[in-house]
Amino acid sequence: MSSGDGASQSSSKKSKKPTYSRFTQQELPAFKPILTPGLIMAAFVFLGITFIPIGLSHLSASDNVVQLVDRYDEDCIPTYNSNPEEAHNKRIQYIRDASTNKTCVRTLIVPKKMRHPIFVYYQLDDFYQNHRRYVKSRNDEQYRNPSAERKTANCEPEAVNDDHEPIVPCGLIAWSLFNDTYSLLRNDVPLPINKKDIAWQSDKTHKFGSNVYPKNFQSRSLIGGATLNESIPLNQQDDLLVWMRTAALPSFRKLYGRIETDLEANEVIKVVIQNNYNTYTFNGKKKFVISTTTWIGGKNDFLGKVYITVGGASLFIAIAFISVYLVMPRPLGDPSYLSWNKNPPSN
């Protein structure tokens, strides 16, 4: 203990010793775990036996997901037989021309029975929705409040039109709204896609106003994507809401709608695509996806595989540890293994 008896024993002298408390003397009750071999082995074995089942259930869930991905941007545009640069320019011209017929029919065969709700997505690759200037280009106040329509800060260049009237909704994110449309035929019978409630609830109720209407949208010289129906308020424009939740990575999917009936195996699904969206300028890819979901979501076996790998590695390490420990046993707490006892100093 830090304080001694010293001269403070005599009752007449005032003791200068500070009052004792467990906190100030750093003697709080403590739990002091250390890494014993038993604990280490138990930890690795525990990891192994919990992670492997989790990984297996992940993998089985992911295997149960039925997913169809179809890339259509290359096939849905006419090919030009000139040199690559000219062909590239011709394609861009084609996609920008409003008068060309952009209908394209794709055929998909259902591999396994798909239970409803079946989710329909469009997937874009090499589209950097996470670019800083793009993400910045929005004004949340304007989207919520009709009286804030003049607030177009950060939305440049899609802030005001040529008459200096504000664009609602302003910004590059809204301006580049995806405008390919899909309609499905199952055995030549139209298959309805439910486009209600595809956006997050909080977007509908709080982020976008129920009395904010699009105005002057896509009214400048360069049109970036879809146009909006000016009589529908923003918070009911589900496609816009889904698009405005910017994606994290350059390759992403966005929810387009839901199919509310089951699809049987080997059924032929025809997808009639209006190939409007211009990804050809930057060589992006467009894909049409239909997928079921399980408790873990869509199809991705990465998580399951890694769980199993980590669990397996832990068991392997536990076994390796035990064998090394048995082959080269050393008494615990043996000070002869300390470095300065192994090589005694010369002085």
Which CB sits closer to another protein, 268 or 324? Answer: 324
Work out how close the CB of 242 gets to another protein at its nearest, in angstroms, rounded to a whole number.
9
Work out how close the CB of 252 gets to another protein at its nearest, in angstroms, rounded to a whole number.
6
Write the CB contacts of 187 (distance below 8 Å, at least 6 apart in sequence).
267, 268
Query: What region, left, alpha or beta, does residue 141 occupy, with left being phi > 0 and alpha being psi -120 to 50 degrees?
Result: alpha
Query: How far apart (Å, rounded) are the C-alpha atoms in residues 51 and 319?
Result: 16
Write the CB contacts of 13 (distance below 8 Å, at least 6 apart in sequence).
7
Beta bridge partners of 271: 106, 184
| Contact (Cβ atoms closer than 8 angstroms) between residue 99 and residue 172 | no
Which CB sits closer to another protein, 5 or 85? Answer: 5
| Contact (Cβ atoms closer than 8 angstroms) between residue 256 and residue 204 | no
Work out how close the CB of 250 gets to another protein at its nearest, in angstroms, rounded to a whole number.
6
Work out how close the CB of 92 gets to another protein at its nearest, in angstroms, rounded to a whole number.
21
Which CB sits closer to another protein, 26 or 83? Answer: 26
Which CB sits closer to another protein, 34 or 98? Answer: 34
| Contact (Cβ atoms closer than 8 angstroms) between residue 264 and residue 271 | no
Closest CA to 202 of 171, 230, 229, 241: 241
Which CB sits closer to another protein, 103 or 130? Answer: 130
Which CB sits closer to another protein, 9 or 99? Answer: 9
Output DSSP code: residue 271. E
Work out how close the CB of 231 gets to another protein at its nearest, in angstroms, rounded to a whole number.
25
Work out how close the CB of 330 gets to another protein at its nearest, in angstroms, rounded to a whole number.
8
